[in-house]
């Protein structure tokens, strides 16, 4: 500790001055009574032998109370007085008795004086400590108490007092009285003060010159130093340091230690009371928030203010990203953290809080923010049924910071309260999103409903970053919505047995709609796939997969697959809980969509042939053209007009004509490839949309369809066809022009007497 040459008054000096004063009125009256007794004996001549005891009393009182000096003087004067008044015949005997009285009184009085001195010192020090503690009790914060201590002790007799707090790199000065102005405000991590902070117990140097770590200023006359730890919940948060030109007495050391313990108790009580008040305030504030964002914003505002920090975030895992649910304060533009970067992802994987005194020195720091952050904490916020914290609180300030245990306890309690509030808000959000999805599905096209169901599932189910939805079509299942996978998967059709194999669970769970999780850490996911979809389905990339059979009245209507491509442990019990919550309303929604689809299909289907009708063609052309434009794929169109149909209708009757149309539809169905969509416009006109097909491919398909139609013969009457082919974008950029170009080529084929006309 660095010191100055200031001379503080000493508590012991005050006690000695008290000791030199007459004890009280009773002592004075005792001496006066003894003297009067002695005079009375000689005045009334009651016997010389009765005068000596009164002198012995006077000698005993003065010797026991004031020591040998006053006692010896009293004995000599008493002997002289006794000899003068009583004669010399008993002088020797009187000297012996007075000497014995002097010795006995001195022996007894020595202990009495020591006890009296201790009592006076204790009373004076107790007065000091009680007065200081009374003043401290009116202060409402830790900082206020630490700043007030030197001044309070200075006013009560201690003039060279300072308070220091642990800081990164040493001990920082909080407040001081009598400290030399040239002394530094940061002490190195050595010396009495730092040693006291490390050991958590009193450190006393009776002679600072004997300590090699003591750093004294020139001309300093400090001899002794006393460092006392100030604790908050058992942790050293500051050191009270006192220095003197002389030593501390054992009773002073004991007294100051008790004082430091009393201050520590007050700091602990203040901290506990403050934590309780803060948690009550936090709970009350969060109770009135209705959304996760509202909960996050209120919690951050309170925590940043209570801890004196500069900026805070509440992160929520969304697949392979940590996305900021809310940000409070500061100017750092950080709203998203990629997978496995920074302290937030470390907390996600370990489930334990991380405190960094200086972010720039942390090996897991995000490089672009190393110099922007100082003290940083990342703390998990656990929600119901979570094995891993998918919500993480992070707080920071620009300067380095040492995190006290009381602050860590406060954050732990606050995060528990925050987790409970978020549980309710997230459950309400999930419910509201499903209600909104049901409302949107009532008006949206079927394909759009499938897409919204999948996007909502990926957003709501913890751990999901990609997914797919397969919907039942008769006895098979087909991809209807994809997120994060190749759209070409939509051309694949699967049997229920194939999907049950991929589910890899029991039949009972399959028909109950129980979700299951597969992890690449324990299972080779390739064994459940075929080579055809190994690449487009990214099977080798999937780290974890959650499958949810969507069941309605005992029938599996759809299978929802959710995937994480990075973390084998991405899905936990919380993911399964949300999936189960998701299953029932989605099953009802898919059933409604299926029923609506049946009605729409009936309205869009030709009753005779079972092919889609002209109304469906108009809708499908716009849809397929939009998809082709979006993904940059070509789109082929064939327009067909039968030859010879009128002759069959006129010669064989309408029934045979209808049969001929049915047979044409059948041969077209047998000849189509995956992705071709057949339509009957009406009468003897048909059309085909060919996805991902250019003009050459469309022309080849037209030749195939023409050959199939020309194979139809009704009682010797053969059918023929004229077909016009066109393709986007080679022939047209919009649907009307594309249809017009194909129609023109169909008429050209008819006038030219050929089956197919493409150019």
The per-residue pLDDT for range 300-322, each reduced to its tens digit, is 999 999 999 999 999 999 988 99
CB 305 within 8 A of CB 292: no
Tokens standing for 749? 């084929």
Specify the pTM. 0.67
Query: What is the predicted pLDDT for the residue at 514?
Result: 95
Class of 140-276 per CATH? Answer: alpha beta
Stated as kind and residue range, the H or E segment containing 623 is helix 614-631
What SS3 string covers 236-267?
EEEEEEEEECCCCCHHHHHHHHHHHHHHHHHH
What pLDDT band is residue 297 in, cutting at 50, 70 and 90?
A: very high
Sheet holding 170-177, edge to edge: 186-187, 170-177, 161-167, 235-244, 224-232, 203-205
- Of residues 14 and 686, the one with the higher pLDDT is 686
Q: Average pLDDT, whole number, for the chain?
A: 84
Query: What is the predicted pLDDT for the residue at 12?
Result: 38
Query: What is the predicted pLDDT for the residue at 15?
Result: 38
- Of residues 185 and 130, the one with the higher pLDDT is 185
pLDDT in tens, 81-108: 666 665 555 666 677 776 777 677 767 7
**Is the pLDDT confidence value at 646 over 70?**
yes
CA–CA separation, 418 and 402 (whole Å): 24
Q: Which residue has the tokens 């959000």?
A: 429
**Is the pLDDT confidence value at 677 over 90?**
yes
**Is the pLDDT confidence value at 532 over 50?**
yes
**Is the pLDDT confidence value at 214 over 70?**
yes
Query: Does the domain made of 288-392 have the CATH classification 3.60.21.10?
Result: no
**pLDDT over 90, % of the chain:** 48
Query: What is the predicted pLDDT for the residue at 21?
Result: 47
Domain boundaries defined on the chain? 11-132, 140-276, 288-392, 444-602, 604-757
CB 715 within 8 A of CB 656: yes
Maximum average pLDDT range among 426-440, 457-471, 477-491, 646-660: 457-471
Q: Classify domain 604-757 by CATH architecture.
A: 2-Layer Sandwich (3.30)
What pLDDT band is residue 14 in, cutting at 50, 70 and 90?
A: very low
Query: What is the predicted pLDDT for the residue at 203?
Result: 93
Query: What is the predicted pLDDT for the residue at 531?
Result: 58
Segment 37-47 shows an average pLDDT of 57
**Is the pLDDT confidence value at 733 over 70?**
yes
**Is the pLDDT confidence value at 61 over 80?**
no
408: nearest Cα among 375, 364, 370, 359: 375
pLDDT in tens, 252-263: 888 889 889 989
pLDDT in tens, 624-635: 999 899 888 999
**Is the pLDDT confidence value at 173 over 90?**
yes
Query: What is the predicted pLDDT for the residue at 17?
Result: 38
CA 72 to centroid of chain Cα atoms: 79
CB 505 within 8 A of CB 565: no
Segment 659-684 shows an average pLDDT of 90
CA–CA separation, 160 and 1 (whole Å): 12
CA–CA separation, 422 and 278 (whole Å): 18
**Is the pLDDT confidence value at 6 over 50?**
no
Query: What is the predicted pLDDT for the residue at 135?
Result: 77
Q: 112-116, 477-481, 617-621: lowest mean pLDDT where?
A: 112-116
Query: What is the predicted pLDDT for the residue at 530?
Result: 59
Phi and psi torsions of 709, nearest 5°: -65, -40
- Of residues 669 and 106, the one with the higher pLDDT is 669
Query: What is the predicted pLDDT for the residue at 729?
Result: 93
pLDDT in tens, 534-577: 666 777 888 999 999 999 988 999 999 999 999 999 999 999 99
CA–CA separation, 340 and 346 (whole Å): 7
**Is the pLDDT confidence value at 328 over 90?**
yes
Q: Classify domain 444-602 by CATH architecture.
A: 2-Layer Sandwich (3.30)
Query: What is the predicted pLDDT for the residue at 332?
Result: 77
Query: What is the predicted pLDDT for the residue at 170?
Result: 87
How do strand 224-232 and strand 376-381 relate by DSSP bridges? Answer: unpaired
Tokens standing for 707? 């050959």
**Is the pLDDT confidence value at 599 over 60?**
no
**Is the pLDDT confidence value at 415 over 60?**
yes
Segment 721-750 shows an average pLDDT of 93
Maximum average pLDDT range among 64-78, 144-158, 592-606: 144-158
CA–CA separation, 295 and 290 (whole Å): 7
336: nearest Cα among 319, 352, 311: 319
Query: What is the predicted pLDDT for the residue at 744?
Result: 93
Domains 140-276 and 604-757 share a fold: no
What SS3 string covers 94-155?
HHHHHHHHHHHHHHHHHHHHHHHHHHHHHHHHHHHHHHHHHHHHCCCCHHHHHHHHHHHHHH
**Is the pLDDT confidence value at 425 over 60?**
yes
**Is the pLDDT confidence value at 587 over 60?**
yes
CB 386 within 8 A of CB 571: no
What pLDDT band is residue 19 in, cutting at 50, 70 and 90?
A: very low
Omega before 45 within 30 of 0, i.e. cis:
no
637: nearest Cα among 709, 721, 693, 599: 693
CB 142 within 8 A of CB 264: no
- Per-residue DSSP letter, 157: T
3-state secondary structure of 530: coil
């Amino acid at each position: 500790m660095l010191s100055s040459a200031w001379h503080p008054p000493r508590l012991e000096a005050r006690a000695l001055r008290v000791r030199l004063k007459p004890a009280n009125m009773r002592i004075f009256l005792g001496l006066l009574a003894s003297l009067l007794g002695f005079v009375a004996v000689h005045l009334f001549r009651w016997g010389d032998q009765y005068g000596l005891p009164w002198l012995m009393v006077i000698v005993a009182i003065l010797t026991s109370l004031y020591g040998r000096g006053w006692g010896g003087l009293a004995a000599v004067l008493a002997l002289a007085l006794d000899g003068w008044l009583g004669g010399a015949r008993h002088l020797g005997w009187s000297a012996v008795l007075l000497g014995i009285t002097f010795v006995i009184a001195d022996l007894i009085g020595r202990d009495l004086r020591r006890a009296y001195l201790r009592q006076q010192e204790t009373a004076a020090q107790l007065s000091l400590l009680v007065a200081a503690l009374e003043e401290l009790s009116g202060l409402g914060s830790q900082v206020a108490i630490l700043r007030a201590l030197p001044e309070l002790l200075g006013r009560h007799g201690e003039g060279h007092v300072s308070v220091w707090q642990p800081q990164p790199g040493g001990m920082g000065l909080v407040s001081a009285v009598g400290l030399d102005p040239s002394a530094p405000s940061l002490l190195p991590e050595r010396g009495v003060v730092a040693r006291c902070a490390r050991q958590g117990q009193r450190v006393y140097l009776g002679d600072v010159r004997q300590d090699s770590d003591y750093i004294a200023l020139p001309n300093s006359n400090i001899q002794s130093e006393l460092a006392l730890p100030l604790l908050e919940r058992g942790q050293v948060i500051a050191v009270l340091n006192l220095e003197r030109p002389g030593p501390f007495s054992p009773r002073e050391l004991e007294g100051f230690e008790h004082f430091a313990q009393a201050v520590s108790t007050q700091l602990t009580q203040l901290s506990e009371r403050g934590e309780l008040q803060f948690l009550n305030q936090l709970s009350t504030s969060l109770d009135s928030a209705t959304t996760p964002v509202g909960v996050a914003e209120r919690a951050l505002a309170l925590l940043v203010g209570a801890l004196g920090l500069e900026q805070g975030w509440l992160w929520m895992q969304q697949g392979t990203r940590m996305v900021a649910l809310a940000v409070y304060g500061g100017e750092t533009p950080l709203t998203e953290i990629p997978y496995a970067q920074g302290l937030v992802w470390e907390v996600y994987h370990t489930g334990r809080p991380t405190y960094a005194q200086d972010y720039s020195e942390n090996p897991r720091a995000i490089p672009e923010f190393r110099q922007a952050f100082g003290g940083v904490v990342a703390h998990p916020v656990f929600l119901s049924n979570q094995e891993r914290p998918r919500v993480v609180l992070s707080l920071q300030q620009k300067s380095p910071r040492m995190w006290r245990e009381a602050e860590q306890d406060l954050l732990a309690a606050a995060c528990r309260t925050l987790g409970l509030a978020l549980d309710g808000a997230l459950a309400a959000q999930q419910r509201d999103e499903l209600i909104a999805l049901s409302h949107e599905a009532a008006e949206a096209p079927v394909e759009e409903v499938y897409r919204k169901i999948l996007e909502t599932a990926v957003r709501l189910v913890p751990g999901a970053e990609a997914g797919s939805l397969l919907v039942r079509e008769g006895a098979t299942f087909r991809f209807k919505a994809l997120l994060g996978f190749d759209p070409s998967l939509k051309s694949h059709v699967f049997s229920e047995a194939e999907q049950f194999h991929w589910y890899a669970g029991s039949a009972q769970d399959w028909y109950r709609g129980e979700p299951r999780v597969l992890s690449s850490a324990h299972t080779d996911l390739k064994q459940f796939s075929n080579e055809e979809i190994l690449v487009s389905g990214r099977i080798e990339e999937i780290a974890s997969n959650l499958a949810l059979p969507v069941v309605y009245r005992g029938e599996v209507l759809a299978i929802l697959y959710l995937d994480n491509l990075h973390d084998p442990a991405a899905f936990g019990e919380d993911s399964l809980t949300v999936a189960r919550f998701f299953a029932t309303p989605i099953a009802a929604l898919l059933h409604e969509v299926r029923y609506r689809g049946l009605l729409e299909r009936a309205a869009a289907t030709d009753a005779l042939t079972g092919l889609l009708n002209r109304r469906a063609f108009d809708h499908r052309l716009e849809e397929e053209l939009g998809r082709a434009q979006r993904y940059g794929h070509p789109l082929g169109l064939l327009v067909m007009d039968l030859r010879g149909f009128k002759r069959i209708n006129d010669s064989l009757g309408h029934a045979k004509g209808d049969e001929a149309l049915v047979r044409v539809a059948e041969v077209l169905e047998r000849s189509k490839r995956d992705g071709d969509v057949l339509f009957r416009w009406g009468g003897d006109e048909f059309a085909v949309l060919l996805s991902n097909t250019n003009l050459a491919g469309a022309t080849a398909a037209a030749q195939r369809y023409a050959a199939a139609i020309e194979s139809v013969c009704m009682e010797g009457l053969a059918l023929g066809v004229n077909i016009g082919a066109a393709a986007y974008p080679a022939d047209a950029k919009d649907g009307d022009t594309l249809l017009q170009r194909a129609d023109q080529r169909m008429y050209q084929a008819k006038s030219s007497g050929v089956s197919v006309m493409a150019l």
